Amino acid sequence: MALSELLSLGRVLIDVPDCKRREVINLLAECFAADLGGEPPGYAEPLLEREKLGSTAIGKGIALPHGKMAALKRPAAAVAVLKQKCKFPTPDNVDVDIVIAFLSPDGPPQDVARIGDIVRELRDGNVVDAFRSAETPEQLIQALQGTGTRPGR
């Protein structure tokens, strides 16, 4: 499932001011709640619980907090592109400026496959450039749709 299929305009934040890891996750939880209904803590909890197990930073300035939320009808993502890099423990010691929160109604092995799809998509330099160069949520969504990347390509 491509990132563009997991996002909506209401779940894309561009130029987020300085934040700590928990603050960014809480902001993304607010986006989920505003767009999908429910309360922000219900979205933040699975993301923060996963983060307690270890950092979800995947390198190159990207973090992918993720979790399971049974109340969802389908997988969803929310994105924050930060003005300044945020401290996440990272495998390559590069601070994070792109945070993609992913929630799924079901767990492994579906989650593992979907997260793998997202990571493969993020290996495409054009996708990462789209995140860092977008000035509006609309630009980011259009760029992701236009990159032509799909899992497995």
Q: Which two tokens stand for residue 24?
A: 């960014």
Q: Is the peptide bond before 91 cis (omega within 30 degrees of 0)?
A: no
What is the reported pLDDT for 96?
94
CB of 134 closer than 8 Å to CB of 125: no
Domain ranges of the chain: 3-146
Classify domain 3-146 by CATH number. Answer: 3.40.930.10
Nearest Cα to Cα of residue 131 among 120, 144, 115: 144
What is the reported pLDDT for 18?
74
Q: What does the mean pLDDT of the chain come to?
A: 90
Q: Taking the complete model, does pTM exceed 0.75, yes or no?
A: yes
Q: How far is CA 48 from CA 2, 18, 105, 125, 132, in A?
A: 24, 19, 16, 28, 24
Nearest Cα to Cα of residue 121 among 105, 102, 96: 102
